[in-house]
Amino acid sequence: MKTMLILGLSCTGLIFNSVAQPGTSLVLNSMAQNSIINEASKLEEKGQFKAAAQVLSGAIESKKYSGAELKKLEFDLDRLDRIKKDYPYTQDGLFSDLQGAVKDLTEYEYEKWVKGGWFDSRDIDGTTYFVESSVSNLFFRHPELDNRRTNPKDQARINLRFLENCESIRNAAREAKTPYVLPKTFHVKMKVAAKADAAPAGEIIRAWVPIPRNYPFEKDFKLISSSLPPKNIDDENSPIRSVYFEKAAEKGKPTQFNIDYQFTAYGVWFDLKPDAIKPYDASNAEFKQFTSEAPHVVFTPEIKALSAKIVGNETNPMLKAKKIYDYLSDTLHYSYAREYSTLRNISDYCRSNGYGDCGQQALLFITLCRYNGVPARWQTGWNMFPGDVTNHDWSEIYLAPYGWVPVDQYMGNYAMTYATSVSKEKREELRDFYFGGLTQYRMVANSDHSQELRPAKKTMRSDDVDFQRGELEYGDKNLYFGKFSYKFTYDEIPTPQLKLP
């Protein structure tokens, strides 16, 4: 019997009738689900958020979907709220905050900036809203306005510390003839807490807190203490490593998930030589994985065109990657990001806008490398550089015979665009260090993006790409950012010189 599928659109979603052979319902549901999501996406792009929510809600309430299909519909419905949270500013509200940040700002000048597209904005149900990071991003995208900051940032001192740290690692690696040098041991405290009444009293809150994984340059993790006994500590080679807890919520009290640990990290610097590069084993499953497309790593026509512009006829894998790195370092601007879970294709978002945060820049670099046959993967956790502690993303590429080497695209971009207190020669020196080099001041929890936590989370992720701030849930509800807090602090432990790995 042939399958007959009649599709019709209504204000609440898709209506379909079918006469089908047994076993085809999953296929039909998947087709209908994709059509619903496409319809909702088109409405969202037009700024019709309420209508998009109605389409998704209607499909969910129809009870036609279960399992992964239902979760996808529920996530897309939640995504609409996440986007709205990322765009809290009205035009008047943003102007008010900008007046406190930019000297002598006039309404005429502000309106010109708005019309010129200087700020990320979204039309949401008839009103234009601006992204939460608009004030900071103005200065990142338009550094010519630095002299009008009401509270200028003095980056000169930290730029010198960056250079001194890079130089010491590079010199030590050359002398020791190993890429892993100058180890430092850190004592870290990470506090993650569900806010009071984020979950009803008595509900079990499940929490995943990131910890260091094992690398040639990161080892000797030791959990010293925790606020309650862990239910699971992930394998040291997990691509997304965490400590897992469960705790019942108490009325009127935050639910704490605190850990206290130490680990040792080495400075990294590979003395890369183009003439030494050899072919890698293309049949190796790991290299196939990391030269393939993946979520947010898509070989679009635009990516292919950009690759042709940057790489040209170059055939050496190292020089291909270095051309990509240098080009992005010179042409991108940094910007604080929307939540990653709200973006359909992060690398293309960065490419099309010409700006992005550290993770967005890393994913664009990874995508271009993979398209050019250079194995590339995500590497993320926390940057602990004194005076610059924050969660951070970068990448690794595989270059035979060296192995996996770090590449921090953001630091290349920072060096060339924002480290203006030092000479061009020194900026290039800083840029070049981070193509194959890494400071000791990193805690790495992830070796790939869009990975699954263990034990598996029952609900949707707050960040389904990265894992640095923690993930919490109870029952069938995710606790999104804003429902919990997190804090990462550390002390450096003076230690005698350790043996090199």
Q: Is the pLDDT of residue 218 over 90?
A: yes
Mean pLDDT of 10-29: 40
Our CA angle for 263, 267, 269, nearest 5°, is 145
User: What is 184-264+452-490's CATH topology?
Assistant: Immunoglobulin-like (2.60.40)
Copy the structure tokens of residue 91. 């035009």
pLDDT tens string 351-360: 999 999 999 9
**Which residues on neighbouring strands pair with residue 463, listed in sequence order?**
none
- How many angstroms separate the CA atoms of 215 and 241, rounded? 12
500 Cβ partners below 8 Å, 6+ apart? Answer: 176, 178, 180, 181, 183, 266
Q: Which CATH class name applies to 157-165+268-445?
A: alpha beta
499 Cβ partners below 8 Å, 6+ apart? Answer: none
Q: What share of the chain has pLDDT > 70, as a percent?
A: 92
Mean pLDDT of 293-321: 98
Query: Looking at residue 446, what DSSP letter applies?
Result: E
Examine domains 157-165+268-445 and 184-264+452-490 and report if their fold is the same. Answer: no
**The predicted structure's pLDDT at residue 154:** 85
Please answer whether residues 467 and 445 qualify as being in contact, where contact means their C-beta atoms are separated by less than 8 angstroms.
yes
Strands 232-233 and 180-194 come out as unpaired
Residue 386 has phi, psi (to 5 degrees) of -55, 125
Whole-angstrom distance between the N-terminal and C-terminal Cα of the chain?
A: 66
In 3D space, the residue among 394, 331, 343 whose CA is nearest the CA of residue 131 turns out to be 343
Q: Three-state secondary structure along 385-435?
A: CCCCCEEEEEEEEEEECCEEEEECHHHHHHHHHCCCCCCHHHHHHHHHHCE
**The predicted structure's pLDDT at residue 497:** 56
Q: What share of the chain has pLDDT > 90, as a percent?
A: 89
**CB crowding 215-252: b at 16 or more within 10 Å, else e:** bebbbebeeeebeeebeebbeeebbbbbbbbebebeee
Report domain extents, the chain.
4-86, 91-148, 157-165+268-445, 184-264+452-490
Mean pLDDT of 244-273: 98
pLDDT tens string 362-382: 999 999 999 999 999 999 999
**The predicted structure's pLDDT at residue 25:** 52
Q: Is the pLDDT of residue 45 over 80?
A: yes
488 Cβ partners below 8 Å, 6+ apart? Answer: 188, 189, 190, 382, 389, 391
**The predicted structure's pLDDT at residue 17:** 33
User: Residue 157 belongs to what H/E stretch?
Assistant: helix 156-176
**The predicted structure's pLDDT at residue 202:** 98
pLDDT tens string 117-155: 999 999 999 999 999 999 999 999 999 999 999 998 888
Strands 242-248 and 204-210 come out as antiparallel
**The predicted structure's pLDDT at residue 33:** 76
Please answer whether residues 429 and 163 qualify as being in contact, where contact means their C-beta atoms are separated by less than 8 angstroms.
yes
Strands 333-334 and 355-356 come out as parallel
User: Residue 172 belongs to what H/E stretch?
Assistant: helix 156-176
- How many angstroms separate the CA atoms of 447 and 362, rounded? 13
Please answer whether residues 362 and 376 qualify as being in contact, where contact means their C-beta atoms are separated by less than 8 angstroms.
no
**The predicted structure's pLDDT at residue 370:** 98
